[in-house]
Amino acid sequence: GLAKGGAHLTLADNNVDGLEKLANEVRGLGTKVAVVPYWPDTEEHAKQMVQTAVDHFSEVNGMLITNGTNFVADIVDMPVDSWQSVMDANLRGPWLACQAVGRQMIAQGKGGSVVVLSSTRGKLGHPAGYTAYCTSKGAIDALVRTLGCEWGKHGITINAVGPTVFRSPVSAWMFAEDGPGKATREGMLSRIPLGRLGEPEDIVGSIYFLLSPAAQFCTGQTLYADGGYTAG
Closest CA relative to residue 45, chosen from 106, 102, 93, 114: 93
Q: Is the pLDDT of residue 10 over 80?
A: yes
Catalytic residue among 130, 133, 208, 224: 133
* Residue range 170-197, pLDDT digits in tens: 788 888 888 888 888 998 899 999 999 9
User: 128-142, 161-175, 210-224: which has the minimum mean pLDDT?
Assistant: 161-175
Residue 65, SS3 per DSSP: strand
26 within 8 A of 51, measured Cβ to Cβ? no
229 is catalytic: no
- Using one digit for the tens of pLDDT, what is the confidence trace for 68-102? 899 999 999 999 999 999 999 999 999 999 999 99
Question: What average pLDDT does this structure show over 18-36?
Answer: 96
Position 2 confidence tier, pLDDT thresholds 50, 70, 90: very high
